[in-house]
Amino acid sequence: KMMARISSVLLCFFWATGILAFQNSHRIKRHNVEATSALQSRARESYTSNPPRRDEVRRGSKQTIKPSSIANNGKIKQERTVVIMYHKPPNVITSHSNADAISKTQTEQSRLTVYEDISTMKGFAGDQSIIGKEMLNFETATNIQSKLHAIGRLDAATTGLLLLTNDGNLVHQVTNPNAKQDNKQSKSVQKTYEALIMGHHELPEASTTVSATSETYPLVTLLEKGATLSPKHGGQTKPVDDLTILSHPTASTTLVSITISEGKNRQIRRMFHSIGSGVMKLHRVSVGQLSLAGLSSNSTAELQEGEWRLLSEDEIRIGLGWECRWLDEVSPVFGGRRSRASGKRQPNTRSTKRRRRR
């Protein structure tokens, strides 16, 4: 009988403990729901009474919109296509980051990037009379507040003409040989270089037989077939558009002018390497119809190393075959893209897909 009483007491005790625990958890859950609802109501009231400032609104997810880029009507100032012509010196890298320029044993400061060099305004060769020198900065001189992109990169050792723009479509137009502008432009934009290569090279006369051409004149391979690169470097290239021998500075070197319409990584250097030669110096002379003197053939108007200026819309249209345009407007609140034709905000399809996955 004693054991039966003890069992009854323990059963009643555990039953009462379970009821108390259930009531306590239910009370905590209800309290959390009420607290969350109160916080959400308070947040809505705070947002309604004190909306965020426009300089705190972000474009996309990372880039902060600057107050100076907001017009009086509350919309983002539209940028127009801007192209910068820059005479790139050696040992200046075409990259937004110079972190990769420091080796493990190198203690000195990393190499300068083209964007850092331009932003200092030291090489600005434009008209400074319209802007006070003490007020001269990159934004006021170019009206660019978005990110710049190089139109065809140059490696650190290569010098010459480098174009930079805020128009991503223009970058695609010049660097992609198959790109067309509004289905009107079918001709690829050509790039011309001067290269000092190893070896004494000649081009054959018109009467030279085909069998002796490729063996005696390796440069003919680039003119007729292009170069065979490794798959990771782009594979087979197109034949070069033009190849001319300019001079022989020494008995074992040749200065050539070469024109291509492709833009593979280090293509010129790898093309000459594929025929058993090598590039000692490389200088970009022109892009399209633009040289370092613009559309002019006057050598005295050429930019010196480190100098840069803005191209006019006529130079961009004639030299690159590109019509300057107003770039797409970004909504300061939603970060979406607004169509200039309709003025309606277009949905961000990438964000929508991301939400659906979640």
Q: What's the pLDDT tens digit per position in 261-292?
A: 988 899 999 999 999 999 999 999 999 999 99
Is pLDDT of 70 > 60?
Answer: no
CB of 245 within 8 A of CB of 255?
yes
What pLDDT is recorded for position 24? Answer: 76
Please tell me the chain's helix, strand, coil percentages from 3-state DSSP, rounded to the nearest 5: 35, 20, 45
Catalytic residue among 117, 127, 155, 328: 155
Tokens 């093309």 appear where? 271
Q: Where is average pLDDT lowest: 81-95, 132-146, 163-177, 212-226?
A: 132-146
For 228-257, write each residue's pLDDT tens digit: 999 998 899 999 999 999 999 999 999 999
Is pLDDT of 352 > 80?
Answer: no
Is pLDDT of 316 > 90?
Answer: yes
Average pLDDT of 137-162? 91
pLDDT interval class at 192 (50, 70, 90)? very high
Q: How far apart are CA 203 and CA 200, in angstroms?
A: 11
Task: Answer yes or no: 155 catalytic.
Answer: yes
How buried is 142 (Cβ within 10 angstroms: 0-12 exposed, 13-18 middle, 19+ buried)?
buried
Instruction: Specify which residues 85 forms β-bridges with.
Output: 163, 309
What pLDDT is recorded for position 48? Answer: 61
Is pLDDT of 114 > 90?
Answer: yes
Q: How far apart are CA 167 and CA 154, in angstroms?
A: 19
Tokens 């965020």 appear where? 52
Average pLDDT of 62-77? 46
